[in-house]
């Protein structure tokens, strides 16, 4: 009989993805709201948590996107067609309306609609990222803003330069690694790719697409060294996830040369992991293991983009190939329906990027069956978090669940692109997958009866 943790059921959540919709990073906290569909969604929690610091901000975003509700916003993110007049007549309008969603006073939190007709919001001239309703608010806010102004300048450049990734005008470098064992972090990766990368970046900076971008955004074009720095940060952001998967495979000593290939499940995946993801985006993972016999990467989550939902199978892969696929749903349901029935290969590694179970009681309740499943079946698991504070909170939860922690620490392949907390702009920026936790099995051995009693009793209350 299987452990009861894996048999616990939750309700399931009931194309082309519009590339101009990007959900900014947010402080995800437990807030009283009704999700647009059953099941936990960190995307929805993040969107509505904007109201915690700036009341009315979520409605401002919908207004600028010509949308009437979050349901319509989510429909477009998932690849559906909006019912209202979503869209932009020209690139200038698109960039202007995107920038308008950042227009609120960083000190008093007033929105443009709350200002008298004689006043307008003006941005900080140093970072061009945060706005103020007047000199008094800017002076009062300077002690907090001065600590992050330089980093927020990078954020302001990067969020415009990302458009080149969306349009495909910035193509990631590729090709076999000459010495995979020597690539241990970004410094060694950049050293290995230096000649190829210099050529690629110079071509992008001098391209017509770059000229067009800065002609449409209504801001002066930065110097070439600023543009090159931004492209490098965006590159680390795009490759952080596949190389972090490789870090897990390498550290946990997963045999990538076994017959039939290896399988990685990415759990809690959302449109962040699947939004405009192309098969070639994971080529670097294959180059990290030149002798691999095939790598399956299966994205599982309630917010997986519709365009990413592809069929998967447990059939043997051709050596050297990488197969990307997606499944929308909760992982413990996916396990019963696909893995136990043999339709999907048993995972050699499970990875969760920023699961967020430390931040919300709703998310913790939804993650509990999956965490118990991973523990009870002794599946090698890696999770990432944004900050040292999240690392400490997540570790405590896992320790309370009697999870056997193998390793934790700073991720050598963290994204170098700073992420601004959208509704709290002067909060210290964070970096995707900054820290990792790896675990395998339980710290204690329980017989079947004790295990079922523990699950029924609710381990979080102990």
Compute the average pLDDT of residues 367-389. 95
Could you give the CA distance from residue 445 to residue 451 in angstroms, rounded to a whole number?
9
**Structurally, how many domains does the chain consist of?**
2
- Cβ proximity of 2 and 369 under 8 Å: no
Q: Is the pLDDT of residue 15 over 50?
A: no
pLDDT of 312 strictly over 90:
no
Mean pLDDT of 445-452: 48
* 28-85 confidence digits (pLDDT tens): 332 222 233 345 565 666 666 666 777 877 777 777 777 777 777 766 666 556 666 6
DSSP 343-381: SSPPPSEEEEES--TTT-HHHHHHHHHHHHHHHHTT--E
Q: Are 118 and 198 part of one and the same domain?
A: no
Same domain, 176 and 152: no
Are 147 and 181 found together in one domain? no
At which of 128, 157, 186 does a domain end?
157
Rounded CA gap, 222 and 228, in Å?
10
CA gap 290, 217 in Å, rounded: 42
Nearest 10 degrees: Cα torsion 331, 337, 342, 347: 0
> Cα–Cα distance between 324 and 281 in angstroms, integer?
10
Exposure string for 352-378, b = 16+ CB within 10 A, e = fewer: bbbbbbbbbebbbebbbbbbbbbbbbe
Digit-coded pLDDT (tens) for 391-432: 999 999 999 999 999 999 999 999 999 998 878 889 999 999
The residue among 278 and 312 whose pLDDT is bigger is 278
- Which helix or strand (DSSP H or E) is residue 455 part of? helix 448-457
Q: What is the pLDDT of residue 41?
A: 61
186 and 117 in one domain?
no
Give the tokens for residue 14.
Answer: 């009931």
Residues 130 and 182 in one domain: no
Domain that holds residue 51: 4-157
Last residue of a domain, one of 99, 128, 157: 157
Q: At a CB cut-off of 8 Å and minimum separation 6, what does 200 contact? A: 171, 173
Q: Are residues 456 and 394 in the same domain?
A: yes
Of the candidates 1, 19, 11, the residue with the CA atom closest to the CA atom of residue 87: 19
Burial bucket for residue 96 (CB in 10 Å: 0-12, 13-18, 19+): middle
At 53, which helix (H) or strand (E)?
A: helix 50-53
Buried b or exposed e, range 136-159, using 16+ CB within 10 angstroms: ebbeebeeebeebbeebbbbbbbb
281 and 245 fall within a common domain: yes
The pLDDT of residue 454 is above 90: no
Q: Would you say residue 14 has pLDDT above 50?
A: no
CATH code at position 351: 3.40.50
Q: 246 and 334: one domain?
A: yes
Shared domain check, 438 and 294: yes
- Asked if 50 and 74 sit in the same domain, the reply is yes
Q: Give the Cα separation of 346 and 331 in Å (integer).
A: 13
Look-up of token digits 């992050």: 148
Share of the chain above pLDDT 90, in %: 57
Cα 32 from Cα 110, distance rounded (Å): 23
Asked if 92 and 179 sit in the same domain, the reply is no
Q: Which phi and psi (to 5°) does residue 131 adopt?
A: -120, 155
Return the SS3 of 385.
Answer: strand
Last residue of a domain, one of 125, 157, 189: 157
Convert the pLDDT of each residue in 208-247 to its tens digit: 999 999 999 988 999 999 999 999 999 999 999 999 999 9
pLDDT digits (tens, 9 = 90+) for 184-207: 999 999 999 998 999 999 999 999
On whether both 19 and 150 belong to a single domain, the answer is: yes
In whole angstroms, give the CA distance from residue 127 to residue 163: 19
| 3-class secondary-structure state, position 335 | helix
Q: Is 119 helix (H, G, I), strand (E, B) or coil?
A: coil
């Amino acid at each position: 009989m299987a452990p009861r943790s894996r048999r616990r059921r939750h309700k399931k959540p009931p194309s082309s993805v519009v590339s101009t919709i990007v959900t900014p990073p947010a402080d995800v906290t437990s807030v009283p709201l009704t999700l647009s569909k059953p099941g936990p969604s960190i995307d929805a929690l993040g969107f509505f948590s904007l109201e915690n610091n700036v009341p009315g901000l979520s409605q401002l975003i919908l207004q600028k996107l010509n949308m009437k509700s979050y349901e319509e916003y989510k429909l477009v993110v998932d690849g559906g067609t909006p019912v209202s007049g979503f869209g932009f007549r020209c690139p200038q309008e698109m960039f202007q309306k995107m920038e308008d969603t950042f227009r609120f006073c960083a000190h008093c939190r007033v929105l443009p609609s709350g200002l008298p007709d004689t006043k307008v919001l003006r941005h900080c001239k140093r970072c061009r990222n945060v706005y103020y309703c007047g000199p008094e608010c800017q002076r009062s806010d300077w002690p907090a803003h001065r600590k992050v102004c330089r980093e927020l300048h990078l954020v302001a450049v990067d969020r415009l330069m990302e458009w080149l990734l969306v349009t495909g005008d910035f193509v990631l470098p590729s090709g076999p690694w000459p010495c995979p064992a020597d690539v241990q972090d970004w410094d060694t990766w950049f050293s290995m790719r230096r000649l190829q990368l210099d050529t690629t970046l110079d071509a992008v900076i001098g391209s017509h697409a770059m000229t067009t971008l800065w002609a449409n955004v209504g801001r002066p074009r930065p110097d070439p060294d600023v543009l090159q720095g931004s492209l490098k940060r965006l590159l680390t952001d795009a490759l952080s996830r596949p190389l972090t998967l490789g870090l897990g495979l390498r550290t946990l000593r997963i045999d990538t040369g076994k017959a039939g290939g290896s399988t990685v499940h990415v759990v809690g995946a959302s449109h962040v992991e699947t939004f405009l993801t192309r098969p070639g985006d994971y080529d670097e993972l294959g180059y990290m293991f030149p002798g691999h016999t095939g790598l399956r990467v299966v994205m599982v989550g309630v917010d997986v983009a519709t365009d990413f939902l592809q069929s998967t199978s447990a059939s043997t892969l051709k050596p050297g190939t990488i197969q990307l696929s997606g499944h929308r749903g909760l992982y413990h349901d996916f396990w019963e329906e696909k893995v136990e029935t043999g339709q999907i290969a048993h995972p050699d590694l499970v990875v969760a990027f920023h699961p967020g179970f430390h931040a919300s009681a709703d998310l913790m309740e939804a993650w509990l069956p999956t965490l118990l499943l991973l523990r009870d079946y002794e599946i090698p698991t890696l999770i990432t978090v944004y900050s040292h504070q999240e690392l400490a909170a997540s570790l405590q939860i896992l320790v309370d669940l009697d999870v056997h922690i193998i390793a934790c620490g700073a991720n050598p392949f963290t994204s170098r692109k700073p992420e601004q907390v959208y509704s709290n702009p002067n909060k210290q920026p964070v970096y995707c997958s900054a820290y990792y936790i790896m675990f395998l099995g339980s710290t204690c051995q329980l017989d079947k009866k004790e295990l079922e009693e523990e699950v029924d009793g609710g381990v979080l209350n102990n």
